[in-house]
Amino acid sequence: MSRAISRAPARAPARAIARRRHRTRARATTTTAEVDAFAREISGEWIGHCASFDPISGEPSSLPSSMVPDAFREWGMDIKDWQSQCSTTVRDAASGTELYCKDARFVPVVGCEADASTVESFERDAIAIERVAVEAGARGGYSACYEDQKGVEIVQHCVVNDALDPPIRVRMKHRADGCGAVRVWREAMDEPFCDGGSLASSCGGNSAVAKFAEYPRDAADVVARVDADFTLPTNATQLPVGIWFSIVVEEDGSYASQLGYADEKTASHVASARSRSGRDESSVVVRFHRALSP
């Protein structure tokens, strides 16, 4: 029986994400050379915004009122996005090579204030590289399934549009059991990895990835214009700025999860799909899709 996270039938067809010739497939194991190339592409400080969305309607959650400056409330503004920074690298640890991500989100401010880099919270993931499927071609895209610091099984996707300058990536995290909100980040590479040694300011650096959650949910229209041969899953949840996702989970632990990002400026569409049967990650099927204008 499927959990009611999706309007789709029990399983969303994983094949739907790879109907064009622009596709790559990740193997269950990743070679040392591939890991090295992946590390070069992904390592850095990525800045942008993140928001939480209802998995079916796509409605964004508002920030807690305690976090919203008085001026915004006086103006009747409902804040949906957190400013964010993700320190990302591939590193050696006692347990082996791992993908390390440290997410910081910042206290909202009005204008360029002195506390513009006040961190509201940190979240760290250290994912064994064996749990990470890497997009071929050193693009920086990946998907993974792993346990977070609280022991909760998480599915994460990352798709990268490297036709933009700077490259922009979209990440998504959700629980493998389908419970709770879906969190989405839209980020641009800012500087070399320093593990958050320098923090983003509200005064600059984020123009390439301005807040996005409050805008119209236009993904289907953008995908149709830039990647007409691609068929969105019937249960796809549309988000703003060309982002979409699809999640189906079942009581036996099976899941089918997809994330896509279409960009009209570069006429490109990148997507990631990951699915498994039951709770056995050895059954995982992973695909990446990349369509660019001629």
- pLDDT (tens digit per residue) in 143-162: 999 999 999 999 999 999 99
pLDDT digits (tens, 9 = 90+) for 2-48: 554 543 333 333 333 333 445 555 444 567 888 999 999 999 999 99
Euclidean distance between CA atoms 170 and 155, whole angstroms: 14
Return the sign of the alpha-carbon dihedral for residues 126, 129, 130, 133. positive
* Domain segments of the chain as ranges: 14-291
User: Residue 6 burial by CB count (10 A; 0-12/13-18/19+): exposed, middle or buried?
Assistant: buried
Provide the whole-model pTM. Answer: 0.88
In angstroms, the CA 145 to CA 149 distance is: 13
User: For 228-257, how does the pLDDT look when each residue is reduced to its tens digit (9 = 90+)?
Assistant: 999 999 999 999 999 999 999 999 999 999
Which region holds residue 39: left if phi is over 0, alpha if psi is between -120 and 50, else beta? alpha
Residues facing 186 on adjacent strands = 49, 170
Rounded to whole angstroms, the Cα distance separating 265 from 53 reads 25
Which carries the bigger pLDDT value, residue 10 or residue 107? Answer: 107
The pLDDT value given to residue 109: 79
Q: Are 213 and 80 in contact (CB under 8 A)?
A: yes
Among 102-116, 177-191, 238-252, 272-286, whose mean pLDDT is lowest?
A: 102-116
Mean pLDDT of 51-66: 93
Q: Cα-atom radius of gyration of the chain, to the nearest Å?
A: 18
DSSP letters spanning 253-274? S-EEEEEEEEETTTTEEEEEEE
d(CA 56, CA 34): 35
> Rounded to an integer, what distance in angstroms lies between the CA atom of residue 111 and that of residue 76?
17
